[in-house]
Structure 1
Amino acid sequence: MDLRTTYLGLELEHPLVASASPLTERLDGFLRLEDGGAAAIVMHSLFEEQILEEEAALDHYLHYGHESYAEALSYFPRAHEYRLTPERHLDLLARAKERVSVPIIASLNGVSRGGWVEYARLLEEAGADALELNLYYIPTDPALSGAEVEAMYLDTIQAVVESVRIPVAVKVGHAFTAFAHFAKRVEATGAKALVLFNRFYQSDFDLETLSVVPTLSLSQPYESLLRIHWIALLFGRVDLELALTGGVHSGKEAVKGLMAGAQVVMMTSAVLQRGPGHFCAVLSELKAFMEEKGYESVQEMRGVMSYQKVAEPAAFERANYLKVLASCCPLP
C-alpha cells in the first residue's frame, strides 16, 4: 500500500500533516510531532503585528472598526506578550531544521504587504522548506468592498511569491462571495496551494462586566464538512494543490478529505487533545479503509468524490440545499 503524497514540491511519506499550533513554539514540540508520526510540520505563525507595530501600512488596517474608542487598542497584544519575538522565531526554525527530518513549513499570519516580504526571505534563509500565508482579516469598514479586500490579499500573495524561491501556500477563511473565482486568481499569483479553511474565532459577551471577550474552542469533526465540500468543488478545476485543515479528528475525516481531492490533511485540535501519537491512530484508520476498499495508493483514491467525478455533481450545489430542507421532519 503506497501512502506517499506530494505537497508544495515536498515528498511526504503519507498525507497527515501537523498544522500550526502552540506545539511548535518549543523545539521539543517539533520532536514530539515527528515522533508521533506527522509527515510534515507547519510551524506556528509569525504574526504581522509582531513585525510591523510601528509601520503606518499596518496601522491603517489595525484601526478598521476601532471607531473612536481608545480602549479598543488593548485587544492587540503588546510586543512583550508574544511568546516569541521575530528573531527568536527564526532561531527556533533554524534549530528545528537541524533536529527533525520531516519538512517544516513556515507560517506568516497577517493581511498587508508590510514587512512580510522581508520576513518571508528570512524564513527561507532559516531553512523553511515551504511557506504558508495565513490571511486572517475581518473587514469591518462599510466603505471597504469585497473586491478591495480580495485585491489586498492578492497583492500580498503576489509580493511574497515573488520574493522567495520556496513554494507558497495560501490559507484563508471561507467568507467569499465567489470563492472559486478567487481561487483562480490566487493560482495566477504563482502560489502553489490553497489551505482550506482558517477558523473564524468569534468574540463573546461577558454579561457581568458588559465587555467583549475573546473565546477559543477546539474544532469538532462536523467542521470538516465545509472544507471537504470546497475541496471537492475545486479539485481538477484549479491548478492548485489543496490542503484540508479544520475538524479532522479521525481517519474518517482524513479519508473524506483525500477522496474530495486534498493532497494533505492537517490536524491541530485532535493532536492537542490526544497527543502527537494520534497521528499514528489516524494513519492506521486510513490504512484500514484503503485495505477494505481495495485502494493500493493515496493517489488512486484522491478526488474520486470530487465535483468532476461524482455521478450527481448537483449534490454540491443548490439541489442539496433543497433536498436537505425537504427531508427535515416537522415538530409533532
Structure 2
Amino acid sequence: MDLTTDYMGMKLRSPLVPSASPLTGDIDNIVWMEDAGAAAVVLPSLFEEQLSMESYELHHHLTYGTESFPESLTYFPEPENFRLGPDEYLELIYKAKQKVKIPLIASLNGSSLDGWTDYARMLEQAGAAALELNIYSVQTDPDKTSDQIEQSYINMFQVVKAAVAIPVSVKLSAYFTNMANIAKRFDQAGVDALVLFNRFYQPDINLETLEVQPHVLLSTPQAMRLPLRWIAILYHRIHADLAATSGIHTAHDVLKMLMAGANITMLCAVLLRHGINHLRCIEQEMREWMEKHEYESVKQLQGSMSQKNCPNPSAFERAQYMRALQTYKPEWGRIYEPSYYHG
C-alpha cells in the first residue's frame, strides 16, 4: 500500500507530520518520531522577538504605568525566557540533520519584516528543508483596513521567499473576510503551501492574583471541521499544496483531511496526550481502513471528497448549513411545542 505524498516538492513516506510543539524541540524526540513513522517534522516556532530588540519595547509597553496604582503592579506578566534562543535553534537543526533523514521544517513566528530575511537564510544554511511562516498578529488598530493587513502579510512572505531557495509555506488563521481570496493572493505570490489553520490561544484573567495569564487548551477532534471545510473548498482552486492542522487525532481524521484535498496532516495535541509512539497506531489504522475499502494509495484518496467539481461552492456551503439545521433532532427526544410551556 502506497502512503507516499508530495509536499512542497518533497516526497514524503506518508502524510503524518508532527507539527510545531515542545516535543519537536528535542533531538531525541525527533529521532524517535522518525522511528515511529513521521514523514517530516516541523520544529517549534522561533519568535520574531528573539531576533530583534522588539522584546524590550514590548516589555516597556506592558509595564509602563503599572507603578501608578498598587493593585496593578503584577497585572502584566514578565516576559518569560524563550526555551530556544536563535543560536540554539540553529544548532538544533544542524545536529538533528545529522541524525535523521526526514525533512526538518523550520518555523518562524512574527508580525513584521524586521529580522526575518537574514535568519531565514541562516535556517536554510543550517539544514532546514523548508520554512513555515507562522503569522500571528492580533490587530487592534481600528483605523487599519483588512486590505492593509492582508497586504502586509503578502509583503512579509515575498521578502522571505526571495531570500531563500528552500520551499516556504504560510500558516494562516481562519479569521479573514474572504479566506478564498487571501489564499489566492498568497498562491499568486508564489507560496509553496498553505497550512490551515493557526490556533489563537486566548489569555484568561486570574481573579485572585489580578494577572493576565496564558491559557492553553489542546485541540479536540471538533476543531478539524474548519480546516476540513476550507481545504475541500481550496483544493484544485489554487496551485499551492495544502497542509491540515488542528483537531487531527485519529486515522479517520487523517483520511477525511486527505479526501478533502490535504497533502499532509499535522499532528500535535494527540502526540502530547498519547506520546510519540501513537504515530504507529494512526498509520496502522490508516492502512487497515484503506485495505478494507480497497484504496491502494494516498493519492487515490486525495481530493476525492473536495469541491473541485462543484460549480458554486458558496451555494453548496449554504445548502449544507440549511440541511444541518433542518435535519437536526435533539438526542433527548421530542422538541416541546409552545403549548407545553407554562408561564
TM over 0.5: yes
Does the aligned pair in 1 maintain the 2:193–2:241 contact within 8 Å?
yes
Does the aligned pair in 2 maintain the 1:41–1:103 contact within 8 Å?
yes
Matched letter for residue 7 of structure 1: Y
What corresponds to 1:242 in structure 2?
242
Does the aligned pair in 2 maintain the 1:314–1:320 contact within 8 Å?
no
Are the structure 2 counterparts of residues 224 and 279 from structure 1 closer, same or farther at C-alpha, using a change threshold of 3 Å?
same
Are the structure 2 counterparts of residues 74 and 89 from structure 1 closer, same or farther at C-alpha, using a change threshold of 3 Å?
farther
What corresponds to 1:186 in structure 2?
186
Residue 85 of structure 1: how far off its partner (Å): 1.1
Does the aligned pair in 2 maintain the 1:66–1:72 contact within 8 Å?
no
What corresponds to 2:291 in structure 1?
291
Matched letter for residue 192 of structure 2: K
Q: Which whole-Å CA distance do the structure 2 matches of 1:113 and 1:210 have between them?
A: 34
Does the aligned pair in 2 maintain the 1:229–1:316 contact within 8 Å?
no
What corresponds to 1:24 in structure 2?
24
User: Could you say what secondary structure the match of 2:17 adopts?
Assistant: strand
How many residue pairs end up in the alignment? 325
What corresponds to 2:253 in structure 1?
253
What corresponds to 2:88 in structure 1?
88
Matched letter for residue 83 of structure 2: R
User: Could you say what secondary structure the match of 1:45 adopts?
Assistant: strand
Does the aligned pair in 2 maintain the 1:93–1:126 contact within 8 Å?
yes
Are the structure 2 counterparts of residues 286 and 240 from structure 1 closer, same or farther at C-alpha, using a change threshold of 3 Å?
same
Identity %: 45
Does the aligned pair in 2 maintain the 1:304–1:310 contact within 8 Å?
no
Deviation per residue, 1:185-223 (Å, 9 max, x gap):
101221100000011111122233343321001110110
Residue 141 of structure 1: how far off its partner (Å): 1.6
Taking structure 1 as the reference length, the TM-score comes to 0.91
Are the structure 2 counterparts of residues 39 and 316 from structure 1 closer, same or farther at C-alpha, using a change threshold of 3 Å?
farther
Calculate the aligned-residue CA RMSD, in Å. Answer: 2.3
What corresponds to 1:52 in structure 2?
52
Equivalent position to 1:77, from 67, 76, 79: 79
1:133-282 equivalences under 5 Å are: 133-282=133-282
Residue 314 of structure 1: how far off its partner (Å): 6.1
Matched letter for residue 79 of structure 2: P
Matched letter for residue 318 of structure 1: R
Are the structure 2 counterparts of residues 312 and 259 from structure 1 closer, same or farther at C-alpha, using a change threshold of 3 Å?
farther
Residue 316 of structure 1: how far off its partner (Å): 4.8
Residue 29 of structure 1: how far off its partner (Å): 1.6
User: Could you say what secondary structure the match of 2:266 adopts?
Assistant: strand
Does the aligned pair in 2 maintain the 1:161–1:189 contact within 8 Å?
no
| Pair 1:131 & 2:135 matched | no
**Higher mean C-alpha displacement, 293-302 vs 202-211:** 202-211
Taking structure 2 as the reference length, the TM-score comes to 0.89
Are the structure 2 counterparts of residues 76 and 162 from structure 1 closer, same or farther at C-alpha, using a change threshold of 3 Å?
farther
Q: Which whole-Å CA distance do the structure 2 matches of 1:86 and 1:92 have between them?
A: 10
Structure 2 unaligned segments of length 5 or more: list them: 67-72, 337-343
Deviation per residue, 1:122-150 (Å, 9 max, x gap):
00000000110000111112122211111
Matched letter for residue 123 of structure 2: L
What corresponds to 2:70 in structure 1?
none
Are the structure 2 counterparts of residues 113 and 248 from structure 1 closer, same or farther at C-alpha, using a change threshold of 3 Å?
same
Does the aligned pair in 1 maintain the 2:106–2:130 contact within 8 Å?
yes
Matched letter for residue 290 of structure 1: M
